[in-house]
Amino acid sequence: MNLIYKEYIKFLRDVTWKELADIKEGYFWLDKQIIKGFDKYGNIHKFYRVVISNDLSTVELRKLKDYDNVEDVDLASWQDLIEMKKEHLKQIESEAIILIKEKMKEYQEYTSIIPVSMGKDSMLTCYLVRSLYPDTKAVFNNTTLDCKDTYRMAKRFSNCEIMNPRKGFY
């Protein structure tokens, strides 16, 4: 599940020609092309399906439920959800830290590196590993298929080697 930022909302407005005043940054998520939100009790609500044509020429938003107005749902913000799930998140983090320590000890004769794609999952993994072992090197594999912002991020990322291919994908 990915957070929906204002840039994605702008993209949807530009390609669907819809105002989308009910979708705002800080409250919505994209999961398997479905725009979702959570209410203040943690219940999930599915609002739209993003439908992209096979030839990628059109994008359409289809309403999934009969909400007269998205504002009829008392949506929880991203920050509200973090607070709601704080103890669970701390438990997951603690388990991850224990696993990292175990594996670093088990494979201590090897040089540790962190493969990073600059996506949310690899960045979180890198954060957790470096919280214990700050000098661990990261490696970004340039597939030549990422967007410009991904490459900018890789270039600015500390202690990260960028592996470049001899030829681009195409």
Q: In this structure, what token pair is assigned to residue 167?
A: 């030829």
Give 72's DSSP letter: G
Mean pLDDT in consecutive groups of 10 residues from the start of the chain, 170 residues: 92 90 92 94 92 87 77 90 95 97 96 93 96 96 89 94 90
Pairing state between β 34-38 and 28-31: antiparallel
CA-wise closest residue to 46 among 29, 60, 59: 29
The secondary element (H helix, E strand) that includes residue 109 is none
Which tens digit of pLDDT belongs to each residue from 142-157? Answer: 998 888 889 999 999 9
Nearest by Cα to 73 from 16, 28, 18, 13: 28
Residue 154 near residue 160, CB atoms below 8 Å: yes
| Predicted pLDDT of residue 64 | 85
Tokens linked to 154: 């890789």
Report the sign of the C-alpha dihedral through residues 101, 107, 109, 113, in that order.
negative
What pTM was estimated for this model as a whole? 0.75
Give residue for tokens 């540790």.
Answer: 112
Give the whole-number percent of the chain exceeding pLDDT 90. 71
